[in-house]
Amino acid sequence: MVDTKQLVSIIERGEQLRDEMRRTAESKDAIIRRQAGKLKNITQLNRLLRERRNRAAKRLNVARNETRNIRGRLEKQRKRDANEETFHAAVKAAANEMGIWKELRDRALLLVSEKDNSLKKCGDGRE
């Protein structure tokens, strides 16, 4: 048979073991809570960074579309300008052949100077 001192000793060792296991479990629970908090923060940070990246991508796409539209309009304007320059060159060549280019140029200059003078009289730039 087991005497009472041994039983008391076994019970005390069991209590110590139980207390040690509780401390170990509490320590592990604390570590798990810290890691869960870190994981939650990292997950939230990741979501915020993805949202920021998506907003930046949308702004970039808007800018690219605007650039594409402006380039298209610029190209159309360049073509118009080239056609206008070609037209002016053809008119000048025809007027030179007819011998009236100098007279047309002088009239145009006179009209421009008259318009400038009338704008100056108004004072505010309106006709």
Query: 88 pLDDT exceeds 60?
Result: yes
Note the pLDDT tens digit of each residue in 25-61. Answer: 999 999 999 999 999 999 999 999 999 999 999 999 9
Considering only residues 112 and 125, tell me which one the structure prediction assigns the higher pLDDT: 112
Whole-model pTM?
Answer: 0.49
Task: Give the whole-number percent of the chain exceeding pLDDT 70.
Answer: 91
Q: Minimum mean pLDDT among 1-5, 29-33, 45-49, 105-109: which range?
A: 1-5
Q: How confident is the model at residue 1 (pLDDT cuts 50, 70, 90)?
A: low
The pLDDT, as a whole number, for residue 111 is: 87
In the 3-class helix/strand/coil scheme, how is the chain assigned residue by residue?
CCCHHHHHHHHHHHHHHHHHHHHHHHHHHHHHHHHHHHHHHHHHHHHHHHHHHHHHHHHHHHHHHHHHHHHHHHHHHHHHHHHHHHHHHHHHHHHHHHCCHHHHHHHHHHHHHHHHHHHHHHCCCCC
